[in-house]
Structure 1
Amino acid sequence: MLRSATHDASVVTVEFDTGTKARFHAIWLRDNALDPETRAPGNGQRLITIGDIPSDISVSAAEISNGDLTVTFQPEGKTVTFPADWLAEHGYDRDQNRPMGRTAPDITTWGRGIDAPSADWDEVHANPSAKRGWLAAVAEYGFAKLTGGPTEPESLLKVADLFGYVRETNYGPYFEVRTEVNPTNLAYTGLGLQAHTDNPYRDPVPTLQILYCLENSAEGGDSIVVDGFRAAEKLHEQNPEGFALLAGYPARFEYKGSDGICLRSRRPMIELSPDGELVGIRFNNRSSAPFVDVPFDQMEAYYAAYRQLGEIIDDPAMGVSFKLEPGESFIVDNTRVLHARLGYSGAGSRWLQGCYADKDGLLSTLAAMEMSQPEAAE
């Protein structure tokens, strides 16, 4: 609820019943008006352009009506009501000087010792609350397991169907990770893989990866996940200048291992939003191309920071490990969480299938579920 409102031609100042005050510009209020001539009923899309708003827009009246704000704009003579809770949610009159390298408030970073978020296949397919919890874990922690699933090939596509769509690449709608011990072809080896994000040479990168286990009778081969955001936080704590170098200059990544394919990207290893929020990690030694965008006098320091980030990522205290059983899968936010595999040997086989999807579908599904069942989301 609002307690009071004052205004001049260009600014409206409101006081909430909590005693908090907030200011809103006339142009901002008019652009975000909630009336049906400004916003389409139903989908909420804006029906006007910035050019439709008079350049001399001003406020001629602002008053409280049933706890909400009613504003009249000139020269249009248009009156619009703004709910108090909507104004509180969208206020921007606050200190915007936030620390560089911070994570979003709904993200929790982690290291070894965290219990891997997990859900049951049948539960997430039958119970909306279980599904919402699984999606929320991916959003908060960047990864989650799914257990008790079928062992038929292509079952991973049903995982993507829970929230969105498979993102097809040059590898197809999905790819095989089928490696047999004592192979006849060295392509099918049990070598370990350093923690990495997938496909950093794409622009944009696939934002989610699903790995689904169909067979796993080999010794070893545990999966490991590492929180790249936590690694970046540690680098920022230990070496803020090095953090700034990895965030401030683009790395280069490349893949040209197949005929007719040459993928390249130019993006930083640590990606920040313009206001300093940590939004992405790209780390993959196998796909790194020569770095040519770092000034000569900064290159050695850049490589020192790169080495330090790698050492943090390789620290066993950073990783959460688990061995997938047939019918189990895990999903990772590929813009944040790195994944690795321990080497394995002995008798047996290991067969996984993998695919990519996009995080916007998962976040959209989660947000829609929370809006439709807000009491269950609390």
Structure 2
Amino acid sequence: MLRSATHTPTVVTVEFDTGTQARFHAIWLRDNALDPETRSPGNGQRLITVGDIPTDIRIDAAEVVDGDLRVTFQPEDKSVTFPSDWLATHIYDHDQDADFGRTAPGITTWQRGIDAPVAHWAEVHATPAVKRNWLAAVAEYGFAKLTGGPTEPEALLKVADLFGYVRETNYGPYFEVRTEVNPTNLAYTGLGLQAHTDNPYRDPVPTLQILYCLENSAEGGESIVVDGFRAAEKLRDQNPDGFALLAGYPARFEYKGSDGVCLRSRRPMIELSPDGELVGIRFNNRSSAPFVDVPFDKMEAYYAAYRQLGEIIDDPAMGVSFKLEPGESFIVDNTRVLHARLGYSGAGSRWLQGCYADKDGLLSTLAAMQMATPEAAE
């Protein structure tokens, strides 16, 4: 609830009943007006452009009505009400967090010792609260397991159906992870694989990966996940200049392992938003192309930082390991969490299927579920 409101022609200052004060500009308030002429009542999309707002927009009156803010704009002579809880959610009048390489609110970084988030197949499909919590774990930690699923081929597609859609690639809607003769990708061998993010050569990169176990009687082959954001934090703390190099210059990635396919990208290994927030990791030595965008006098330092990041990622203290049993799967945020595999023997069988999906679908499903039950978001 609002306690008071004062204004100048260009700024409204409000005080909430908590004692918090906040200022809002006239142009910002007019652009974000919630009336049906400005926003579609059905979907909330804006019906005006910024060019439709008069250049001389000004506040003629601002008052508290039933705890909410009522503003009158000139020269339109237009009055709009802004709910106090909406204003509280959208305050921008505060010191912006400018820590270089920080993680976003709601992200928890981790290393070995964390209990892998896990849910049961039947419960996720039957109980909305369990599904919501499973999705929330993926959003917060970047990975989660699912147990007790069917052992039939293509069951992984039902995992993607829980929140969105499969992202089809040149590998098809899904791909097989089992030993092959003359494989097109090292994932299809029994070799161990260093922790990596998948498909860094794509732009945009697939943001989620699902791996689903159908058979696993081979010796070895444990899955390992590593929090790339925690690794980046460690590099930032140990070598700030090296962190800045990996974030400040693009690496290059390439894949051309099958006929008719030549995928290339040019993106930094550590990706930051313009205001310094950590938003992505691309790390895959197998798919790295020659780095040609780093200045000559910085190349050795760049490689030193690259090596250091790799050593952090390879540190056994960073990884959470588990062996998938038939009917079990795990999902990773491919923009953040690296996954690895220990080598396995030719005896027995190991058959996984994998597919990609998009994180925006998962976050959308989660947000809709949290809006339906607001207490779940607290």
Q: Indicate the TM-score class for this superposition, using the shorter chain for normalisation.
A: over 0.9
**1: distance between equivalents of 2:3 and 2:232?**
44
Identity percentage over the alignment? 87
Quote the offset at 1:189 in angstroms.
Answer: 3.1
Structure 1 residues 130-176: Cα deviation after superposition (integer angstroms, max 9, x where no partner): 10111000000000000000000000000000000000000000000
Structure 1 stretches of 4+ moved >6 Å:
none
Structure 1 residues 333-377: Cα deviation after superposition (integer angstroms, max 9, x where no partner): 000000000001252010000000000000000000011112344
Q: Give 2:48's aligned residue.
A: 48
Please show how residues 47-126 of structure 1 align to structure 2 within 5 Å. 47-126=47-126
**2: distance between equivalents of 1:226 and 1:87?**
39
CA contact under 8 A between 2:178 and 2:189: conserved in structure 1?
no
SS at match of 1:14: strand
Q: Give 1:336's aligned residue.
A: 336
Please show how residues 174-323 of structure 1 align to structure 2 within 5 Å. 174-179=174-179, 185=181, 187=183, 189-323=189-323
Q: How large is the Cα RMSD of the aligned pairs?
A: 1.0
**2: distance between equivalents of 1:73 and 1:102?**
38
**2: distance between equivalents of 1:353 and 1:345?**
19
- Opposite residue 99 of structure 1, the aligned amino acid is D
**2: distance between equivalents of 1:214 and 1:3?**
60
- Opposite residue 72 of structure 1, the aligned amino acid is T
Quote the offset at 1:194 in angstroms.
Answer: 0.2
**2: distance between equivalents of 1:376 and 1:195?**
33
**2: distance between equivalents of 1:178 and 1:288?**
23
Q: Give 1:147's aligned residue.
A: 147
Q: Give 1:159's aligned residue.
A: 159
**1: distance between equivalents of 2:374 and 2:25?**
31
Q: Give 2:9's aligned residue.
A: 9
SS at match of 1:71: strand
**2: distance between equivalents of 1:371 and 1:344?**
45
- Opposite residue 105 of structure 2, the aligned amino acid is P
Rate the CA distance shift 1:97–1:122 in 2: closer, same or farther, 3 A. closer
Structure 1 residues 235-255: Cα deviation after superposition (integer angstroms, max 9, x where no partner): 000000000000000000011
SS at match of 1:368: helix
**1: distance between equivalents of 2:359 and 2:173?**
16
Structure 1 residues 36-90: Cα deviation after superposition (integer angstroms, max 9, x where no partner): 0000002100000011000000001001101111000000000000011111110
**2: distance between equivalents of 1:38 and 1:195?**
49
**1: distance between equivalents of 2:377 and 2:207?**
24
CA contact under 8 A between 2:58 and 2:74: conserved in structure 1?
yes
Q: Give 1:361's aligned residue.
A: 361
SS at match of 2:312: helix
Gapped regions of structure 1 (runs ≥ 5)? none
- Opposite residue 230 of structure 2, the aligned amino acid is R
- Opposite residue 86 of structure 1, the aligned amino acid is W
- Opposite residue 328 of structure 2, the aligned amino acid is E
- Opposite residue 361 of structure 2, the aligned amino acid is G
SS at match of 1:345: coil
The total of aligned residue pairs comes to 374
- Opposite residue 150 of structure 1, the aligned amino acid is P
**2: distance between equivalents of 1:293 and 1:346?**
42
Quote the offset at 1:258 in angstroms.
Answer: 1.2
**2: distance between equivalents of 1:317 and 1:127?**
35
- Opposite residue 241 of structure 2, the aligned amino acid is E
CA contact under 8 A between 2:4 and 2:63: conserved in structure 1?
yes
**2: distance between equivalents of 1:201 and 1:376?**
37
**1: distance between equivalents of 2:318 and 2:234?**
10
**1: distance between equivalents of 2:279 and 2:229?**
9
Structure 1 residues 254-295: Cα deviation after superposition (integer angstroms, max 9, x where no partner): 111111111111000000001111000000001101111111
Task: With the length of structure 1 as denominator, give the TM-score of the two structures.
Answer: 0.98
Structure 1 residues 79-108: Cα deviation after superposition (integer angstroms, max 9, x where no partner): 000011111110100112420100011000
**2: distance between equivalents of 1:31 and 1:374?**
27
- Opposite residue 327 of structure 1, the aligned amino acid is G
Structure 1 residues 179-220: Cα deviation after superposition (integer angstroms, max 9, x where no partner): 2xxx7x364531100000000000000000000000000011
Q: Give 1:127's aligned residue.
A: 127
**1: distance between equivalents of 2:346 and 2:290?**
37
Gapped regions of structure 2 (runs ≥ 5)? none
Please show how residues 17-36 of structure 1 align to structure 2 within 5 Å. 17-36=17-36
Task: With the length of structure 2 as denominator, give the TM-score of the two structures.
Answer: 0.98
